[in-house]
Structure 1
């Protein structure tokens, strides 16, 4: 049978499911990167503390570690499952694709994460209570386990942009999919960022130190760490861009705002200025200043950066073979995966999708707008919100156009043929294109639905030779009005 297993789409009407996932993920990145950077910092401080007989460094590890238990490990352990839940309902086949490729890699990451969580408790509560050699071994194990979690996740994130090696398409195997040029470029730039954010967040703890001499010493060293890592991260950025696939380069050139590079440079300079301030005036560092700097990097640096990374891989969600709307777009013999585009070309979404509403499989003038809305949710809502707010509101892309025929022509000419490089190729039957066009037109003017139904009904009566005047008035479906609200 000509069926494809598209799951029912989770659609969040306020801001769109994509932004829900993005907001949770961005906050989680802040927590996780701070945790990894702090783990390596703790390892270094433990070594220096025992080597130079500086118990105050172990005391700082305890203070920063207790802060991390809440900031990174508790809140991070909440947002982590939040990512799993939101991505599973928002992109179930995308998550399935990643699990099928990297289930053992993820299992490995979870093992290291368990070691990491146990390690941070041991670093906090065993400082000064075990011998030097034991504590250093705990510190090294903690640092390596934490770094291993980042390595595993970055490889999977890189696969979402592009498989590591072209041979993966024909041979499969997670090693071919995992290790690529982008993996190491992205890992390097994230290492730089994690030290930057570790230094910023560490300032919150340093600000509370009572010993002014030790506070000055530690604040200045965190400032140097922050400056060096921020500058190195920016220096690595061109390398990262050079490892992006050709498709991502096209998206970056055509869809990323022109002010993005200037904005990133501005955030970098502001971060360096902040660290210069803490380097020159360490005793003026307060928790509120460090907290403000943390939020600034999160909002002005991390969120735009993660948004751009997610946007650059469009129209795909995983491995350059699965579209963001969950449709499999390419054959992958190495994974026994076949493209679903021929099926959609043949019978369309309305007859191919297993979970399609039963009353919408046959399109009529009376249900065309509802079918169009279902098509928009299924094929478009992973990247566009259907309301005026949220991620890439779809109505803006049509400039208030209410001409159903013109919108239909665009859908059949651009989307159905794949001529828009950063959009999925969305095969649409003629009636599907008309239904989707009607719904998109109704976003600008809901009354277009009633006119469409009247015109289609009148034309049908004329075709049948009906002579009675048409008196029935049709209103837009209630759910469409609700969608506009």
Structure 2
């Protein structure tokens, strides 16, 4: 960072550049087109021997001189001043790259001034022939100035081969040079016609006035048609990413781009209308409208051209905040503050001061603070520091309209702190949650009398609900409860025939429809309308379990339990009672309990704003849910927010395939887990397991924890099995890329693996069906893995049938999960809503919280002597 930048707050750098530049460019094009207009009309006056027409040219020349040379010269100086103090690095680059071009242009500009002054002051004092020659010389020099400036301006958007060669000529005759030159020439002629209308009403002679109006109409209508045709040529040479930005409905660049043909149509229609004899007042009014349209035409074009460059000021070479992409890695490693020679802050120790300096360098060139242009305040109003930090992390990765953040992680946090605490006065983070011990009754079990053992579990360890039902649904209320009934004996037997297994939920959770909007929107989202308190599979809050084919187990799927008990706020751990009855006699054979973990604590609000829905702890509010849709619309060019407003909320799997639901989605779109994790990984790089906690309900200070089991107690976090978020996302995206999904490359572009050496080393996988393989770390029964070195990432199960939650033990009867409990909640588990709320079965059957049968408690099922060599694990890889 060689140059300091002018610190602006309310107006920001972009406001002054845009204000002065658009006005100057409008006048500068008038200076070129008017340079042809004057000698042409002077020649017509001589041919027609019309003194009124010659007098018009004489007076128009004075008007032209004042507008172009006086006012235009002042705005030209204004441009140089503003860009030199607001964008000094890019200004320096343009000067050093095009020294010869600038010198030549200044010579042409000097010749323009001399010719125009002579043309004006010697209008009646030199021969007609020589006076016309001076007029033509002015036009030639003015057009040469346009040619020279056009090459330099075009270079900023399409530098072409200059990026490799650094050659003056490659930069000057860049890919957009010729189409832009033609477009600007036609635009200059059109503007000359518009200004001709403005002064034509002063002509008293009606014949001369009508001639001027008709000629000016041709100067307007014909050039605007030619400008639009050359505009299509111009579009054809733009970089593909610039063209893609023009097509984005939600971006301002697309809006201004759409204005151009509309304004051109208005210029054509009104220009033609000016040929018709109309009252003088009407023509004056139409002249003003035409001039305004002309300003809008060139303003829309200039805004579109400038915005199409984003995030660069010089495409692919220099960002709009004057930083070079080639230096980003060094800034990430060493920080950017030490490189600012003019800055007092050399590190991020003082977060507020460092953040203010970083804002000045990286944000203020485009954003104002409370001003009329790109105001940073409303754009960042929804973020707490956590979300602001994530937003900064993801800048320029998914939506490349802004540069990447330059600096270390500490500097990024300093900038986030300045924006949130300094500009907004602070935003509340998530409130901590104090653990509470809810009452829990452990069902009785008499090892000397009871004939049966009933084991029950939830198959996921935590089912997350995206309860933004009026906006969108990612995961509906749909918890699964499983159970196995074991008849005790010398050779225990898993019973599946002659018995009926049933379930019911604890008091307070029986009526989820009273607290949930799911049933109000289910038909619109899923195309079905189950009765209140009944889920998508037909199961309710009480009912009968069904035998699971292929496994000696019973299941009740998609139970629509919600974590909102009547009168108790938020409780993500409802308890279900499971009973086994003899079908023939109706006798109760066994009874147990299990939690059905169900959380709505998905952390969308961390970045998408809005409050929590319930008790300031959980739930996706309408505000948050709607912002998610608006972000989707902006990033993917969809119209989901409008659909939700019209009463048509979206099921994410309606478009994105999802293996766990068997949803086919739309061809070509990424599957849902790949899309969600791939997107968010770009905003949560260089983090550990806390990256998972920002979205999933397992933040350490929250009411819900996904990872509650033995791995969590051993301080083995998410990344030891699933990899860091970047690794996790890459494994999903690589499979989608191999399947020809075009969106994968976009999300992978800025992701670097952290557990393995390169992207090539990442093994692709299908979400939900291919998960970490337990045997990667648990290589030998009875021996604990190395807590430091063991890592389960990058070794995946072959398919869903061999997942831990679907796998039977060596004997082929009892399931692994029946004795060890759910994934992420393996016995012993610790729960913030009751220390042993997840440990009901081991407490019921063996009086401790270890896995069923641990510590030689084989007598839970075995009534006779057990050979340790026949243990269920022995000889079987655990998956």
| Stretch moving more, 442-451 or 71-80 | 442-451
For residues 418 and 447 of structure 1, what CA distance do their matches in structure 2 show? 27
Question: Structure 1 residues 432, 81: closer, same or farther in 2, change over 3 A?
Answer: same
Question: Structure 1 residues 47, 320: closer, same or farther in 2, change over 3 A?
Answer: farther
CA apart distance, 1:278 = 1.6
**Which of 204, 216, 222 lines up with 1:210 in the alignment?**
204
Aligned counterpart, 1:396: 378
Aligned counterpart, 1:465: none
Number of equivalences: 428
**Which of 317, 341, 361 lines up with 1:354 in the alignment?**
341
For residues 258 and 277 of structure 2, what CA distance do their matches in structure 1 show? 28
Deviations 1:97-121 (A, max 9, x none): 0001112211111111111112122
**Which of 396, 402, 405 lines up with 2:386 in the alignment?**
405
Does the 8 A contact of 1:216 with 1:283 survive in 2?
A: no
Aligned counterpart, 1:384: 367
CA apart distance, 1:52 = 4.8
TM-score by length of 2: 0.46
Does the 8 A contact of 1:123 with 1:138 survive in 2?
A: yes
For residues 150 and 253 of structure 2, what CA distance do their matches in structure 1 show? 25
Counterpart check, 1:290 vs 2:287: yes
Does the 8 A contact of 2:274 with 2:283 survive in 1?
A: no
Counterpart check, 1:373 vs 2:356: yes
Aligned counterpart, 2:229: 235
Aligned counterpart, 1:224: 218
Aligned counterpart, 2:317: 321
1:57-456 map, 5 Å = 57-163=53-159, 165-166=160-161, 168-254=162-248, 255-256=251-252, 258-281=254-277, 284=280, 287=284, 289-298=286-295, 300-329=296-325, 339-357=326-344, 360-364=345-349, 367-385=350-368, 387-402=369-384, 404-412=385-393, 414-415=394-395, 418-442=397-421, 445-448=424-427
Does the 8 A contact of 1:215 with 1:282 survive in 2?
A: no
| Stretch moving more, 62-71 or 260-269 | 260-269
Does the 8 A contact of 1:204 with 1:288 survive in 2?
A: no
Does the 8 A contact of 1:97 with 1:318 survive in 2?
A: no
For residues 303 and 19 of structure 1, what CA distance do their matches in structure 2 show? 13
Aligned counterpart, 2:877: none
Deviations 1:255-306 (A, max 9, x none): 34554344223322222232223210266265554244323432x3332321
CA apart distance, 1:181 = 2.8
| Greater RCO structure (CA 8 Å; 6+ sep) | 1
| Stretch moving more, 54-63 or 71-80 | 54-63
For residues 422 and 259 of structure 1, what CA distance do their matches in structure 2 show? 15
Aligned counterpart, 1:472: none
Aligned counterpart, 2:508: none
CA apart distance, 1:225 = 1.6
* Paired residue secondary structure (1:425): coil
For residues 337 and 312 of structure 2, what CA distance do their matches in structure 1 show? 22
* Paired residue secondary structure (1:317): strand
For residues 290 and 71 of structure 1, what CA distance do their matches in structure 2 show? 17
* Paired residue secondary structure (2:313): strand
CA apart distance, 1:171 = 2.6
Does the 8 A contact of 1:400 with 1:444 survive in 2?
A: no
For residues 109 and 67 of structure 1, what CA distance do their matches in structure 2 show? 24
Does the 8 A contact of 2:97 with 2:168 survive in 1?
A: yes
Does the 8 A contact of 1:58 with 1:128 survive in 2?
A: no
Deviations 1:326-358 (A, max 9, x none): 1122xxxxxxxxx3324312311111211122x
Deviations 1:178-222 (A, max 9, x none): 112311111111112111111111112111011111100111111
For residues 419 and 353 of structure 1, what CA distance do their matches in structure 2 show? 28
For residues 227 and 253 of structure 1, what CA distance do their matches in structure 2 show? 27
For residues 40 and 431 of structure 1, what CA distance do their matches in structure 2 show? 59
Does the 8 A contact of 1:264 with 1:301 survive in 2?
A: yes
Aligned counterpart, 1:483: none
Question: Structure 1 residues 68, 372: closer, same or farther in 2, change over 3 A?
Answer: same
| Stretch moving more, 254-263 or 392-401 | 254-263
Does the 8 A contact of 2:245 with 2:253 survive in 1?
A: no
Question: Structure 1 residues 197, 282: closer, same or farther in 2, change over 3 A?
Answer: farther
For residues 319 and 304 of structure 1, what CA distance do their matches in structure 2 show? 20
Aligned counterpart, 2:8: 12
Aligned counterpart, 1:332: none
Question: Structure 1 residues 297, 136: closer, same or farther in 2, change over 3 A?
Answer: closer
Unaligned runs of 5+ in 2: 431-879
CA apart distance, 1:450 = 12
Does the 8 A contact of 1:247 with 1:313 survive in 2?
A: no
Question: Structure 1 residues 297, 247: closer, same or farther in 2, change over 3 A?
Answer: same
For residues 55 and 101 of structure 1, what CA distance do their matches in structure 2 show? 50
For residues 409 and 65 of structure 1, what CA distance do their matches in structure 2 show? 58
More strand by share: 2
Deviations 1:356-378 (A, max 9, x none): 22xx32323xx312211221111
Does the 8 A contact of 1:369 with 1:435 survive in 2?
A: yes
| Stretch moving more, 260-269 or 216-225 | 260-269
